[in-house]
Structure 1
């Protein structure tokens, strides 16, 4: 049994004009110590998926269906009091902006000690010693002095290291990192990701990394999910998806990387934009932007416009695409004929 199992997760936002489906039938698992990446454009549903795991969706959002099981416990119907024993304790979260996460009127030490005391019966001196050890683990220089400083006195990279130290305070089983390096420059981004990877490997902590950066995903994660318009459209081993993406959207993301363009030419891009969740296209949500809705012989794949594609297994990956389904079907029929 996997440490985390998400099945058919459905998240909606209740608006005056009707419910908007932010997530549809999201399914994935995470084993202990495994690193999973979730990628996609802005609006794909990556952060909503992460917040849903701990039922942190703010109203008018709500979990409309599905299951989130952590270590055998169902989280979707769990009371807030019971969830507080898991949030920050067994599942920690690293948010995009450390200045929005840290309290500006409390010192770093006060915030770390407060976090420890919220989950454990512990003396202040012992809590401070644990906080100091965690700051040392994330390689913050002069950690004793940092405990008595305020967030505004630290650089962006140091603040993000503090956030990682707080996430590790209670030795969690899973860390959810939501765009953890967005506001940092490239050099600091690399340092933070290398640190996060090292800590997860050393302590056997599962990692869910949410990002739009395929380069980071390829270096840090073992498996990845590609999301589009609130639905997972491709998932499998990171190396296989990066080297041979099968869904047209994943192919478009890969082709949009700067290194994929010819020097001196315009960068490749996926035409159009992510559809509004309250006005999704019929059939495959990606079909208005997809160049593969038309077959090689010029005929249209009507299923792309009318049917939501089901997942099919292709190699070690699962893909929701009518084109891939047709391709696998063509491969299957000759194989059956040769065995007769």
Structure 2
């Protein structure tokens, strides 16, 4: 059975007497144990997607339409009480801001014991032993010492490992990680990614990994969703998308990676900026920044077409496919 199924999900925000679209008709699924990335620039809607799935939308945000099903059960209609049995225990979220995820006035041990005893009837001694064993699993060298420390006494890398350990204690089937390595240096980033991947593989835990960095997701995710202005514009196997990006936006993201520029030369960039919720362009939202935009891109919204191993929502790609198909027909006729 499919673990998570998102169908035509739309999210809107009420702001200053306006009703603004943040997500538009998002559809995808995740299988048990599968690792899926959501990638795009800031403002693309990546984090909002994670918050919508877990019913943690901020402020005046609300789900305007669509479905989110977890193991066949609809999540959008759950009550707050019902969500307490799902969030954390079956679907866990790792946030970008590590200090916001940990209570600054409680020790690591107190927070871990509280997490364990929230769903298991065990003694403090048993919970403590389980917590220390889990801290060892995430490769904290001095788990007993860490157990009695406060979050502010720990480095960023150790805090993130503690958060992963707490998530592990709850034994979720799906982890949603919202840019969990952004604030870490490259070495710590690689270690955290390795730990996450290892945990998912060992325990058959699915992962929805939110990031802006193709270099990061290539290390951990099997499949990728590329988002722009609240919509998915390309999706497919991660390595397939990285090696042969189809959508002009995906091409721009990959070309903007530092390693794609020649030494001593300026870094490549996508001209323009992500549109705000109040100024979303008509048609394909990327057309004002797209170097290949056609006339219909300005007023029509493209549907997904399959291009090799990925699916792409782009009129330019559709036109190229049509041209190639007609060329093959003409060639066959000539023969």
The reply to whether TM is greater than 0.5 is: yes
User: Does residue 185 in structure 1 map to residue 178 in structure 2?
Assistant: no
Secondary structure of 2:219's counterpart equals helix
Secondary structure of 1:278's counterpart equals helix
Residue 290 of structure 1, CA deviation: 0.5
How far apart, in 2, do the equivalents of 1:37 and 1:304 lie? Answer: 26
User: Does residue 321 in structure 1 map to residue 314 in structure 2?
Assistant: yes
Residue 17 of structure 1, CA deviation: 3.3
User: Aligned Cα RMSD in Å?
Assistant: 1.5
Residue 334 of structure 1, CA deviation: 4.7
Residue 278 of structure 1, CA deviation: 1.5
Secondary structure of 2:320's counterpart equals helix
How far apart, in 2, do the equivalents of 1:166 and 1:93 lie? Answer: 11
How far apart, in 2, do the equivalents of 1:186 and 1:100 lie? Answer: 22
How high is the TM-score relative to the length of structure 2? 0.96
Residue 325 of structure 1, CA deviation: 1.1
Q: Which runs of 5+ in 2 are unaligned?
A: none
Q: Which residue of 1 aligns with 2:212?
A: 212
User: Does residue 307 in structure 1 map to residue 310 in structure 2?
Assistant: no
Count of residue pairs the alignment pairs up: 333
User: Does residue 14 in structure 1 map to residue 14 in structure 2?
Assistant: yes
Q: Deviations over 1:23-78 (max 9, x none)?
A: 00111111111110110000000000011111110230001111111111110111
Contact 1:92 1:168 in 2 (8 A): no
How far apart, in 1, do the equivalents of 2:89 and 2:110 lie? Answer: 18
Residue 335 of structure 1, CA deviation: 5.0
Residue 331 of structure 1, CA deviation: 3.0
Q: Deviations over 1:262-309 (max 9, x none)?
A: 22111110000001112111111000000001xxxxxxx211111011
Q: Which residue of 1 aligns with 2:258?
A: 258
Contact 1:68 1:75 in 2 (8 A): yes
Secondary structure of 2:67's counterpart equals strand
Q: Which residue of 2 aligns with 1:28?
A: 28
Q: 1:2 to 1:336 in 2, by over 3 A?
A: farther
Secondary structure of 2:146's counterpart equals helix
How far apart, in 1, do the equivalents of 2:5 and 2:123 lie? Answer: 36
How far apart, in 1, do the equivalents of 2:121 and 2:77 lie? Answer: 27
Contact 1:85 1:119 in 2 (8 A): no
Contact 1:134 1:165 in 2 (8 A): yes
User: Does residue 142 in structure 1 map to residue 142 in structure 2?
Assistant: yes
Contact 1:3 1:70 in 2 (8 A): yes
Residue 124 of structure 1, CA deviation: 2.1
Q: Which runs of 5+ in 1 are unaligned?
A: 294-300
Q: Deviations over 1:229-284 (max 9, x none)?
A: 01100000001100000000000001111111122111110000001112111111
Secondary structure of 2:29's counterpart equals strand
Q: Which residue of 2 aligns with 1:60?
A: 60
Alignment of 1:152-171 (within 5 A): 152-171=152-171
Contact 2:92 2:176 in 1 (8 A): yes
Contact 1:36 1:208 in 2 (8 A): yes
Q: Deviations over 1:83-135 (max 9, x none)?
A: 11111101111111211111011010110111122223332222222211211
Contact 1:33 1:201 in 2 (8 A): yes
Q: Which residue of 1 aligns with 2:87?
A: 87
Residue 215 of structure 1, CA deviation: 0.4
